[in-house]
Amino acid sequence: MFRAFLIKYAEIGLKGNNRYLFENALRDRVKDALKVLGAFSVSKEQGRIFVECPEGYDYEETVEALKCVFGISSICPVVVIDGTDWDSLEKGVGDYVEAMYPDRHFTFKVEAKRADKQYPLTSPDICAKMGACLLRRFPELKVDVHNPDVRITVEVRTRAYVYSVNIPGLGGMPVGTNGKAMLLLSGGIDSPVAGYMISKRGVSMEAVYFHAPPYTSERAKQKVIDLASQISRYAGPMKLFIVNFTDIQLYIYDKCPHEELTIIMRRYMMRIAERLAEKEGCLGLVTGESIGQVASQTMHSLAATNEVCTMPVYRPLIAFDKKDIVEIAERIKTFETSIQPYEDCCTIFVARHPVIRPDIRIIRKSEKKLADRIDEMVEEAIRTSEVIDIG
């Protein structure tokens, strides 16, 4: 019965003079999300986005797609009433209630909004008058203005809309309104969630994966490609850089104390990611680190890893417990992919007893042992990185 959706947004309403930029971005993201599903028409309409659906569209699929768009606070399937004169409104709203609720033993309240302030009735007038009309047409209904079972909303604009269902959206801000970041995406549980969270604040994303063939398999790489596709459902299209990290890892393994291996490796990942980020016009790096989760994420280790970057490093999971991260991973449907058992490059070169309180001065000294070849190897890794377009 629904041929249209009214989309409400929350936080972008607070953006003052820039508001139109946020509204345009949200309209465009909604268009992007729906274009694969058919010829939807998407337009801005006074504080709302209005979606008109093509003949024969799939309701469930459309709602699912809209539920992946950041910046939406709620999705309201609406019935459009053509006229705004009282007779049309009364009939339109009554027909809506009749079709939507075959069993009308419930309490209700009418809520009204008029975008057109010239409209002859005020919002409270519309509520009172419509409530009375509905009671007359459906005597089994009861009014409860404090705690109704059903809120019937009538919005009078150039046309009028009626709805009573608010499907919660994701919140956040439309992707593309807040610059771009480079996500260090491994095959684990955490980094896809980290990317999702930063992107929720309107940030678009490129990603980098450090691959170490033959120590890490093609399937491990495919897993990361799959995860990138899953986050791009929310974050939009992204480039995924696959950096061949094998030679650098072997070189570190050869030259440096094994208990420092992970830290030094992480420092080179950050350095390379930062270089790629600069090339791509990104304003920060994103990782899935969380304090104390593993040896390489103690405060000491994070300080050592952080030291090599000048770009801000965003760690949205920094204070999250694993179970809370898992909960988000399940919700955004990356979890099943993340737990596939393909090794990632860190698990192969880990020492039995990695340092948990690395001393930055000692780490720097160990890295000096790489001086002969490391710069050229880093250049080579960047130069030969493979780029995959996702989404």
The contact set with Mg ion (CB under 5 A) reads 186, 188
User: Whose Cβ is closer to ligand ATP: residue 65's or residue 282's?
Assistant: 282
CA 191-195-201 angle, to 5 degrees, is 150
- The span from the first CA to the last CA of the chain, in angstroms, equals 32
User: Whose Cβ is closer to Mg ion: residue 166's or residue 293's?
Assistant: 293
Question: Rounded CA gap, 261 and 271, in Å?
Answer: 15
User: Whose Cβ is closer to ligand ATP: residue 162's or residue 189's?
Assistant: 189
3-state secondary structure of 142: strand
293 binds, among Mg ion, ligand ATP, none (CB under 5 to 8 A by kind): ligand ATP
Q: Are 136 and 93 in contact (CB under 8 A)?
A: no
210 binds, among Mg ion, ligand ATP, none (CB under 5 to 8 A by kind): ligand ATP
User: Whose Cβ is closer to ligand ATP: residue 34's or residue 332's?
Assistant: 332
Smallest separation (angstroms) from Mg ion to the CB of 253: 18
User: Whose Cβ is closer to ligand ATP: residue 71's or residue 188's?
Assistant: 188
Smallest separation (angstroms) from ligand ATP to the CB of 281: 20
Q: Is 186 exposed, middle or buried (0-12, 13-18, 19+ CB in 10 A)?
A: buried
User: Whose Cβ is closer to Mg ion: residue 344's or residue 367's?
Assistant: 344
Pure H helices in the chain: 19-35, 59-66, 86-100, 123-137, 190-200, 218-235, 246-255, 261-279, 299-306, 322-331, 335-338, 345-348, 360-368, 374-383
Pairing between β-strand 150-156 and β-strand 107-114 as defined by DSSP bridges: parallel
209 binds, among Mg ion, ligand ATP, none (CB under 5 to 8 A by kind): ligand ATP
308 binds, among ligand ATP, Mg ion, none (CB under 5 to 8 A by kind): none
User: Whose Cβ is closer to ligand ATP: residue 174's or residue 187's?
Assistant: 187
User: Whose Cβ is closer to Mg ion: residue 92's or residue 188's?
Assistant: 188
Question: Which residue, among 319, 260, 244, 314, has the nearest Cα to 283 in the 3D structure?
Answer: 314
Give residues in contact with ligand ATP (CB under 6 A): 184-186, 188-191, 208-210, 269, 287-289, 293-294, 296-297, 344-346
Phi and psi at 152, nearest 5°, equal: -100, 115
Smallest separation (angstroms) from Mg ion to the CB of 188: 3
- Amino acid in position 334: T
Residue nearest to ligand ATP (CB): 188
Q: To which H or E segment does residue 114 belong?
A: strand 107-114
Smallest separation (angstroms) from ligand ATP to the CB of 270: 8
268 binds, among ligand ATP, Mg ion, none (CB under 5 to 8 A by kind): none
User: Whose Cβ is closer to Mg ion: residue 130's or residue 182's?
Assistant: 182
Smallest separation (angstroms) from ligand ATP to the CB of 337: 12
Residues 6 or more apart from 373 whose CB is under 8 A from it?
A: 251
Polymer length of the chain: 391
Residue nearest to Mg ion (CB): 188
Smallest separation (angstroms) from ligand ATP to the CB of 287: 4
Smallest separation (angstroms) from Mg ion to the CB of 286: 14
Smallest separation (angstroms) from ligand ATP to the CB of 103: 48
294 binds, among ligand ATP, Mg ion, none (CB under 5 to 8 A by kind): ligand ATP
List, in sequence order, every residue forming a beta bridge with 180; answer none if it has no partner: 204
189 binds, among ligand ATP, Mg ion, none (CB under 5 to 8 A by kind): ligand ATP
Q: Is 376 exposed, middle or buried (0-12, 13-18, 19+ CB in 10 A)?
A: exposed
Smallest separation (angstroms) from Mg ion to the CB of 228: 15
To the nearest 5 percent, what fractions of the chain are helix, strand and coil? 45, 20, 35
3-state secondary structure of 284: coil
Q: SS3 sequence, 341-354?
A: CCCCHHHHCCCCCC
CA 255-256-257 angle, to 5 degrees, is 135
Question: Rounded CA gap, 29 and 38, in Å?
Answer: 15
User: Whose Cβ is closer to Mg ion: residue 153's or residue 186's?
Assistant: 186
Smallest separation (angstroms) from ligand ATP to the CB of 315: 9
Distance of CA 46 to the CA centre of its chain: 25
